[in-house]
Structure 1
Amino acid sequence: MNAHRLHPRWLALALLLASLMLLLLGAGVGSTGWESVWNLRADPLAWQIVRDIRLPRTLGAWLAGALLGLAGAVAQGVFRNPLADPYLLGSASGASLGVALSMAALGASPFALQGLLRLGITGAAFAGAAGAVLLTLVLAKGAHDTLRLLLAGVVVGVVLGAASSMVLLLTPEILQSMQSFMLGSTAFIGWDACALMAAVLAAVLLAAWALGRVLDGLALGEATAQSLGLPLAPLRLLLILLLALATGTAVAQCGLIAFVGLAAPHLVRSLVRAMHRWLLLLSAGMGAVLLLGADLLARWLVAPQELPVGVLTAVLGGSYLLWLMHRRPLQESA
């Protein structure tokens, strides 16, 4: 089996080429098709469509996918569990509660707002996700006990999910608008959001890369990691904060996108066998390709309308994991 694994550099090159191809395709996928691209020089409106709508949306989908893929690799490394995903510590439920409370106060859709209102919605999603993770850490009394942390995350997710449902029951007029966030969408990502996600991705990737040795030690067991002289509790806490930052930033900009953070590391492990530094980098690239490919497919399948990208990622990611479970136990893919 290992003889058929790729070298990490070859997979990195393949992901780079796939990303470039998908980014170019993104310029022509939309209600006006490639006509807008052909008429860039002659038609100012066509240039505005490509520059202000398609390019930031395409790049934003790539960046959000990279954040989720990276967060998924960190989560699976920290918890030593191939089923761990970026939403494991309650960030999804926290983000949903933050958006629901903001929409109840503002009375508007999270993806139809501009300026301060738009900033308020995305800020509320990020604050909700970060707050949920912090609440999980408080309930777990730190990050030293992995099992207690997982249980606290489950409890926080259930409680905050129930709180979101209560907000929707009290303000049913926001129910339809809330679906945009719950199903995920990249349709309203602008250049400012791209700049924010790019900055967070660079910072989290560099920090996670520097902590790759910690994840390698955890993969061998906590006793082995401690024998290497690693201060596990503070380093695990730092990794969880990086996980929360990456997840909260992606969720705040495009809503809840299912399975990308869970499937991306699995796909990487099925193709290469590498230490965590390579795994983190490749998982980010794989997540970027997965989400951008799903976003382009969502735009194309029922054009000129489009499907919520979160629905496609759930269907495709869920199908892949079912196939993986049927083919071999999940422990073998870790």
Structure 2
Amino acid sequence: MLTSNRLVSRTLFFTLALGLLAAAVVFGVAIGSVPLPPSSVLAVLVGKLFPWLGVGDFTPTEEAIVWAMRLPRVLVAALVGAALAVAGAQMQGLFRNPLASPDIVGTSAGGALGAVIAISAGLAAQSPFYIPLFSFVGSALALTAVYALTARAGRAPVTTLLLAGVAIGALCGAFTALVVSLAWKRWEVAQEISFWLMGGFDSRTWLHVRLLVPCFLFGLGVALTYAPELDVMSLGDEDARALGVETRRATWVVLLSAALLTGAAVAVGGIIGFVGLIIPHAVRLLVGPRHRALIPACALVGAAFLVGADLLARTINRPEEVRLGIVTAIIGAPYFLRLLLRPTG
């Protein structure tokens, strides 16, 4: 009976999460400087995705606004939110630490450093693939350094994790500032980097969607494949090895998967904090700690959350746009403090 009730509960959760994400996408596309009714948005989406249905009850202007301008931005926001949430769930499971997330342990800062190097060196102008590549390398190196500094018998103590994350993040931030200062004479590049570091999805196109989709799908596939290993590793390395888990291999695969998801997210959206921290916690309360259900649930809720946060950033101070990283920090920082100050006894 318990299994049946849990199945029904999870089925209801995923149904509601899919509905929430769909509603967030529709309203994210509909609301803007030129508001559109949701019916027009749906008409454009159906007409473009299913042209054989003959749905054409929309104007060329509506088609341009929905398909060329707003939908790519909304899809990028959804993919970035999903990627950061899944990476956060993997890190918390691997470190067995509730405070592990891409921004807390310096992974986002490492990805940002890699991307900034690619931009300032002019590589991004040669090919758009250099930014996600350099961002992935930066995220992987930062996460590997934090893991090497903190993991003891597969567990990362809270204080050690925070100190190592702050140190690695500060080091990456210092090098990022150095790169920006060296590029300051080219003020267009420096300004682009500075705004990009605060996070946001303005001017995102279908190219960014195509860059992000394969990275996200691959990272999500690895995360789901290694979900059972993460469950077993939560018992401790010795118990996991006794149950047949190759803990060393699983650790490195999960680390690289989390770094790929974080690097891809940072490459197209800049530094967006606290998504990977708060979403896994909220979702874990609803679907439980098993990663096979937790990871896809985090992807859905993270996507809906960041689409909503981006919509808030676009509309809270019209016609100016608040940087998305500021919005997520205002939402997430109090939750982080609550976790940090929560009694452990």
TM-score range, shorter chain: 0.7 to 0.9
From 205, 209, 229, give the equivalent of 1:190.
205
Alpha-carbon distance in structure 1 between the residues aligned to 2:150 and 2:97: 21
| Cα pair 1:144 1:232 within 8 Å, conserved | no
Q: What TM-score, normalized to structure 2?
A: 0.80
Which residue in the other structure is 1:129 paired with? 139
| Cα pair 1:212 1:276 within 8 Å, conserved | yes
Indicate yes or no: 2:297 matched with 1:285.
no
Which residue in the other structure is 2:114 paired with? 98
- Which stretch shifts more, 317-326 or 25-34? 317-326
SS at match of 2:178: helix
- Report the Cα offset of residue 22 of structure 1: 0.7
- Which stretch shifts more, 209-218 or 220-229? 220-229
Q: How do 1:170-189 residues align onto structure 2 when only pairs under 5 Å count?
A: 170-172=182-184, 173=187, 174-189=189-204
Alpha-carbon distance in structure 2 between the residues aligned to 1:285 and 1:207: 17
Indicate yes or no: 2:179 matched with 1:167.
yes
From 242, 245, 251, give the equivalent of 1:230.
245
Indicate yes or no: 2:273 matched with 1:263.
no
| Cα pair 1:213 1:276 within 8 Å, conserved | yes
Which residue in the other structure is 1:61 paired with? 77
| Cα pair 2:28 2:308 within 8 Å, conserved | no
| Cα pair 1:56 1:190 within 8 Å, conserved | yes
Question: What amino acid is the match of 2:267?
Answer: A
Q: After superposition, what is the alpha-carbon deviation per residue over 1:11-48, rounded to whole angstroms, capped at 9, x for unaligned?
A: 21111010010111122122111179489756423321
- Report the Cα offset of residue 232 of structure 1: 0.5
Alpha-carbon distance in structure 2 between the residues aligned to 1:233 and 1:254: 31
- Report the Cα offset of residue 99 of structure 1: 3.4
SS at match of 1:7: helix
Structure 2 residue runs of 5 or longer lacking an equivalent are: 45-56
Alpha-carbon distance in structure 2 between the residues aligned to 1:291 and 1:266: 16
- Which stretch shifts more, 85-94 or 219-228? 85-94
CA RMSD of aligned residues (A): 3.3
Q: What TM-score, normalized to structure 1?
A: 0.83
| Cα pair 1:68 1:287 within 8 Å, conserved | yes
TM-aligned CA distance change 1:193 to 1:175, over 3 Å: closer
- Report the Cα offset of residue 58 of structure 1: 0.7
Q: After superposition, what is the alpha-carbon deviation per residue over 1:220-265, rounded to whole angstroms, capped at 9, x for unaligned?
A: 2223222212111111111101101111111111111110011100
TM-aligned CA distance change 1:35 to 1:117, over 3 Å: farther
- Which stretch shifts more, 171-180 or 46-55? 171-180
Question: What amino acid is the match of 1:255?
Answer: G
Question: What amino acid is the match of 2:18?
Answer: L
Indicate yes or no: 2:63 matched with 1:47.
yes
Which residue in the other structure is 1:110 paired with? none
Alpha-carbon distance in structure 2 between the residues aligned to 1:161 and 1:274: 33
- Which stretch shifts more, 22-31 or 142-151? 142-151
Which residue in the other structure is 2:13 paired with? 11
Alpha-carbon distance in structure 2 between the residues aligned to 1:324 and 1:84: 11
* Relative contact order, higher structure (CA 8 A, sep 6+): 1
Question: What amino acid is the match of 2:10?
Answer: P
Alpha-carbon distance in structure 2 between the residues aligned to 1:321 and 1:152: 17
Indicate yes or no: 2:301 matched with 1:299.
no
TM-aligned CA distance change 1:59 to 1:225, over 3 Å: same
Which residue in the other structure is 2:47 paired with? none
Question: What amino acid is the match of 1:56?
Answer: P
Alpha-carbon distance in structure 2 between the residues aligned to 1:136 and 1:285: 28
Structure 1 residue runs of 5 or longer lacking an equivalent are: 108-112
Alpha-carbon distance in structure 2 between the residues aligned to 1:100 and 1:200: 19
